[in-house]
Structure 1
Amino acid sequence: MVNQGPISLPLTILSVLIPFFLMNSCIATSEEKGTALIRKTCNHTMYEKICISIFESDPRSFKANYTGLLRIGIELSVSLTNDTLSYISKVFDNTSETSNHTLWLKMKGCHDNYDFAVFEISQATDLFDKGLYRDASRKVAFANEAAFLCRTSGVPQFVERNNKVDKFTHDIVLLLYPNPPK
């Protein structure tokens, strides 16, 4: 390897930092609001269409600044997780253990994981309000993990709801962790 002198290290560091700064400059500012803010924010997610759709389903999103939008994202994640647990509970309660023991066990696993996730994610909004964005992100991640585990268990009745929770909570985790409100 050829020694390129003392300038080599700073140039290497700059080549890594410049894309990082450019990416962060594309993140929405606290002054933006409305559809433009929703789209700009969701543009930085893995599941942009679901992100936009869920945010646009809540009228508060159109009046929120970036910080408010992230808080709404947590609240929507909590709601999706609670609704999914309710649905899973209803289906699980109406499934006989003796009729299909393997399916029943998979449903029980989904139920137990979502039950735990509901407990954990319920703390995310308070953590966010205290400025503990990474901790809030970790609480939302419990819902994302529950959806992932349930999805991989292969319970066909839960696929659609699981996908929605999995994708939206994944995006909220990503928005909160590396790009918290300023």
Structure 2
Amino acid sequence: MGFSWFLLLFITLFFQFIDPTLSANGNSDLIQQTCKNTKYYDLCVSSLKSDSSSLKADSKLGLALIMVRVGMANATATNSYISSQILSVKNDTAPMRKVMRECADKYAFANDALQNSVQDLSSELYDYAYMHVMAAADYPNACRNAFKRYPGLVYPQELAVREEGLKHICDVVLGIIDALGF
């Protein structure tokens, strides 16, 4: 029994050196430990595990930067979605076209705020990074409020889902920043 245990240990260690993905368990532990500090644990874990660069992350700061990139991708995708919807708005609905342009701008601003947070995180200016992520999470509110200014315009369900997604991603980033010592 002692020899078989030793052989199993040797084979496991040997294959970890050949295939680094087998040793990703350490990063999985870092991901889980980091995500425990966030409001949306499952979103945090699934987002980080789906990004191959998280296997190389060796700190909470590295994971925070990855989550910020997830938020930037979400904001950019939403901006693109809204821009494509503007083209399908009929000419007789000028208020809708105006509101959709405003919403596209808000998601572009959210992306810019997240880009600023990357610079702040890289410089270990966590309070500024926190502020920029909070701003990114708030920009979708301005989009929702733009719809409220025009009676008869209905806030599209697809935008509501995307708004909630960006806010949740930002909440995850804020939780990680909190764990960094902010």
- Structure 1 equivalent of residue 157 of structure 2: 156
Deviation at 1:116, TM superposition (A): 1.9
Post-superposition Cα deviations, 1:131-177, rounded to whole Å, max 9, x if no partner, equal 1112112212222112344456522232332222111112212321x
Q: Aligned equivalents of 1:149 and 1:79: distance in 2?
A: 19
Contact 1:127–1:135 (Cα < 8 Å) also in 2: yes
Of structures 1 and 2, the one scoring higher in RCO (CA 8 A, sep 6+) is 2
Call closer, same or farther: CA 1:114–1:121 in 2, change over 3 Å.
same
Contact 2:38–2:174 (Cα < 8 Å) also in 1: no
- Structure 1 equivalent of residue 180 of structure 2: 180
Greater CA drift, 46-55 or 103-112: 103-112
Call closer, same or farther: CA 1:135–1:97 in 2, change over 3 Å.
farther
Q: Aligned equivalents of 1:107 and 1:148: distance in 2?
A: 13
- Structure 2 equivalent of residue 146 of structure 1: 139
Q: Which runs of 5+ in 1 are unaligned?
A: 1-31
Contact 2:54–2:66 (Cα < 8 Å) also in 1: yes
| CA RMSD, 1 decimal | 2.5
- Structure 1 equivalent of residue 38 of structure 2: 45
Contact 1:127–1:136 (Cα < 8 Å) also in 2: yes
Q: Aligned equivalents of 1:159 and 1:128: distance in 2?
A: 29
User: How does the TM-score come out when normalised to structure 1?
Assistant: 0.69
Is residue 125 of structure 1 aligned with residue 126 of structure 2? Answer: no
- Structure 1 equivalent of residue 167 of structure 2: 166
Q: Aligned equivalents of 1:151 and 1:81: distance in 2?
A: 15
Larger helix percent: 2
- Structure 1 equivalent of residue 77 of structure 2: 83
What percentage of residue pairs aligned between the two structures are identical? 23
- Structure 2 equivalent of residue 68 of structure 1: 62
- Structure 1 equivalent of residue 109 of structure 2: 116
Deviation at 1:58, TM superposition (A): 0.3
Q: Aligned equivalents of 2:114 and 2:175: distance in 1?
A: 15
Call closer, same or farther: CA 1:151–1:38 in 2, change over 3 Å.
farther
Contact 2:67–2:172 (Cα < 8 Å) also in 1: no
Q: Which runs of 5+ in 2 are unaligned?
A: 1-24, 148-154
**Paired amino acid for 2:168:** K
Contact 1:117–1:143 (Cα < 8 Å) also in 2: yes
**Paired amino acid for 2:125:** L
Post-superposition Cα deviations, 1:83-112, rounded to whole Å, max 9, x if no partner, equal 2211221112322352x4554454233222
Residue-pair matches, total: 149
Q: Aligned equivalents of 2:108 and 2:86: distance in 1?
A: 13
Q: Aligned equivalents of 2:40 and 2:159: distance in 1?
A: 19
Deviation at 1:126, TM superposition (A): 1.4
Q: Tell me, what secondary structure is at the counterpart of 2:179?
A: coil
Deviation at 1:48, TM superposition (A): 1.6
